[in-house]
Amino acid sequence: MPHSYFLIPGYGAQGGKAEDIALGFDENGLGGIVNASRSLICAYKSDMWKDKYKEEEFAKATRAEAIRMRDELNLSIKK
């Protein structure tokens, strides 16, 4: 099924690591759609962002976490 996309759950808050899900992508970084809802919605509470963003700034924390996740995934996929 070379032209199919697969939903890849479990990344982030559920414990899945970038290295774990990298196999769901091809050499071009295609093939998977990563679900990381809780990690993004609650980013302002995480150890990484709680000292930088207040609860009212949850959108900024969410953006910062999404960028961090994207970069982490890209590094793992390109190995």
Q: What is the pLDDT along the chain (79 residues), one digit of tens a residue?
A: 677 888 998 898 888 899 988 888 887 888 889 999 999 999 999 999 999 999 999 999 999 999 999 999 999 987 6
Q: Which residue matches tokens 């769901």? A: 24
User: At CA 22, angle to CA 17 and CA 28, rounded to 5?
Assistant: 145
Prediction pTM value:
0.84
Q: Would you say how long the chain is, in residues?
A: 79
**Contact predicate 12/69, CB 8 Å:** yes
